[in-house]
Amino acid sequence: MKAEDLVVTPMGVRFMGRRFACTVGRGGIVAAVQKREGDGATPAGVHGLVGMLYRPDRIARPGDWALPIGPCDLWSDDPRDEDYNLMVRAPHGYSHEQLRRADPMYDLILITDYNWPHAEPGRGSAIFIHQWRRPGAPTAGCVALSRRDLHWIAPRITHQTRLVVLG
C-alpha cells in the first residue's frame, strides 16, 4: 500500500497520513468473490479509481478530470441490462440509480473499477465513494465519508490512487 491509497480499515479510511471516519455497506465487508447485486456488502480488495463525478449546480469542479452529473445521468444496476454497471442516460428501460439526487449524497462521486468495465451480471454494481447520509449510517455497499473529508480528499487523488478495502 502507498500513501496515496485510500485504505479502508475498521478505524476508518487512511489517506496521505491522515485518518477519516467512514461507513461501509450494511452487509459489511465481504470477499469480492462473494459479492452479489443487492447484498449491501462492500467488496474487499484493491480497486482502482476510474472516474470522478460532481454536481456543477452545487459544487465547484473538484479536479481537472471530474465530469459533471446532468439531469439525465443514471447508473444501471440491472444484471439483465447490457449496460449493467455503467453510466447510462434517461430514459432507461432497466433498473437504475439516479445520479442527480435531491439530497447531497452524490454531489461528489468517486467511481471504482469494481466489476467494471466488463461487468459480470449479478456480482454487484456501483461501488462508489460518496458523501454519507449521516455518521455511522451504512451504505448499499459503497464507502461513504463526511462532506468535508470527501471534499478534502477528492482534489488530492491521482491516477495512481486506489481504494484498498481490508477484509
Q: Quick one: pLDDT at residue 105? A: 98
Q: Distance between CA atoms of 33 and 100, rounded to whole angstroms?
A: 30
Q: Distance between CA atoms of 91 and 93, rounded to whole angstroms?
A: 7
Q: Quick one: pLDDT at residue 167? A: 87
* Beta-strand relationship, 87-89 and 73-76: antiparallel
Could you give the domains of the chain? 6-165 (2.40.440)
* Beta-strand relationship, 67-68 and 42-43: unpaired
pLDDT per residue as tens, the chain (167 positions): 898 999 999 999 999 999 999 999 999 999 999 999 999 999 999 999 999 999 999 999 999 999 999 999 999 999 999 999 999 999 999 999 999 999 999 999 999 999 999 999 999 999 999 999 999 999 999 999 999 999 999 999 999 999 999 98
Element (H, E) at 148: helix 147-153
